[in-house]
Amino acid sequence: MDAKTLDEVELLSFKIQDTVLKLMSNFFEKNKVSYAELRILRVCDSHENLTLNKLSEVLNKAPANLSVIITKLVKSKLLRKKSSQVDKRVTYIVITEKGKKISDSSYSYFFDLVNDDISDELNELLTVLKKYYAKLNYYMNLEI
């Protein structure tokens, strides 16, 4: 590997994310959500008993930054907050039916756009990215 390869991988990663955002722009406008809000909805849809701290770990974002977005999603009735039955100091972030519909429809919207032509490539990319991430974490643990 050389610097040029690493630069291309980083640039292509940004270009892929930018292209997906552009493809999804009509979805965001129609549903009045941003990419960040959709990510939160998707994570809340796939995880139970999420606290703000756990959500921040999953998304690798500061809790303070997420708090503002969550408040907006609660006001929009896409999320709700629920107190723990065991410890009243703990508050869970729970997706509502309205939020779940947006989360679910975002996947079908994307796959309808690309006609499911990229599923093989997506699976291959996921495999490679998982290996790459595991190796990076290995090297990171050596540094600590």
Q: Which of 44, 88, 48 is nearest to 70 (CA)?
A: 44
pLDDT given for residue 143 in this prediction: 65
- Do 109 and 121 reside in the same domain of the chain? no
As a whole number of angstroms, the distance between CA 45 and CA 79 comes to 10
pLDDT given for residue 56 in this prediction: 94
Average pLDDT of adjacent 10-residue blocks, the chain of 144 residues: 89 92 96 96 94 94 94 97 90 96 95 83 91 90 72
As a whole number of angstroms, the distance between CA 140 and CA 28 comes to 36
pLDDT in tens, 6-15: 899 899 999 9
As a whole number of angstroms, the distance between CA 106 and CA 37 comes to 12
As a whole number of angstroms, the distance between CA 77 and CA 112 comes to 26
pLDDT given for residue 126 in this prediction: 92
What DSSP letter does each residue of 52-95 carry, written as one string? Answer: HHHHHHHHT--HHHHHHHHHHHHHTTSEEEEE-SS-TT-EEEEE
- Do 96 and 132 reside in the same domain of the chain? no
- Do 43 and 91 reside in the same domain of the chain? yes
- Do 81 and 135 reside in the same domain of the chain? no
Q: What's the chain's length in residues?
A: 144
As a whole number of angstroms, the distance between CA 8 and CA 5 comes to 5
Q: Which domain holds residue 130?
A: 116-144
Number of compact structural domains in the chain: 2
pTM for the complete prediction?
0.85
CATH value at residue 39:
1.10.10.10
As a whole number of angstroms, the distance between CA 63 and CA 121 comes to 34
- Do 92 and 48 reside in the same domain of the chain? yes
- Do 106 and 124 reside in the same domain of the chain? no
- Do 41 and 64 reside in the same domain of the chain? yes
